[in-house]
Amino acid sequence: MQSAGRNAEDAPGTLAGNDLRAQRRAASEQSMGISDEAIYSAIERRLIALGAAGDALDFGAGTGQLTRRLQRSHRFRTVAGADLYPRAADLDPGIAWIEGDLNDLLPCAPSSFDLVVAAEVIEHLENPRAVCRELFRLLRPDGQVLLSTPNNESWRSLVALLVRGHFVAFGETSYPAHITALTRLDLARALTEAGFRQIAFGFTDVGGLPGLPSRTWQSLFGAWAGGLRFSDNVIVTARKER
């Protein structure tokens, strides 16, 4: 997504522009667009609850893990993936692929999709408000967006902020892949300013213990431990009203 005021020296084809694209590509390769099963499962549950259908875009598809799951759900008329990466060789030919830097506008017409899913993507991008504006542009009226991102309001993340001075998913081991830390308030503001309405939050209900992320709150306390303080990831949905 194009941010306002890009300098001429950062234009495509210049040395600075080429360096920037290389940096973004290297950062994206840290995760290869693959998320945890808990995140995928929570997204799928939310899509069922929303009654999502029509033409779907996996925004930040990486190697296509979630894209394939969206196709296999048989909920959607068409499924497309978009990312900086070229199309994965083993991706089903029925899945469209849009190659482009997600920090810029995608080469898609406005109002192309009924659903856009951006799973663990916005924290990798430089301008969350530009991202939300681009998601709004891509959606048809009454279309829905679903975003997931690290939950910076969990106990685990808040303890890390207190002890280490940064949210747990935004330390040195996560940088420069994770560059933009957002709270629910930040997400709500960015989505609202882009034009979205009916903003709602949910959680994966799976979260690691502070200092011991391989053990989860849920393994100790069961289903009681869920929601905001006990989930490693937050899910937000919003609608582009007619």
Structural domains of the chain sorted by starting position, each given as residue range(s) with its CATH number in brackets: 8-239 (3.40.50.150)
DSSP states of 123-173: GGSS-HHHHHHHHHHHEEEEEEEEEEEE-TTSHHHHHHHHHHSS-GGGSTT
Q: What percent of the chain has pLDDT over 90?
A: 84
Residue 86 has pLDDT above 70, yes or no: yes
Burial class (CB in 10 A: 0-12, 13-18, 19+), 215: exposed
d(CA 158, CA 165): 9
pTM confidence score: 0.87
Instruction: Please check the confidence at residue 5 and state whether its pLDDT lies above 60.
Output: no
The pLDDT value recorded for residue 164 is 96
* pLDDT classification of 10: cutoffs 50, 70, 90: very low
Contact criterion met (CB below 8 Å) for 79 and 58? yes
pLDDT confidence band for 220 (50 / 70 / 90): very high
Instruction: Say what the pLDDT of residue 216 is.
Output: 97
pLDDT tens-digit series, residues 106-145 = 999 999 999 999 999 999 999 999 999 999 999 999 999 9
On the question of pLDDT at 212 being above 70, the answer is yes
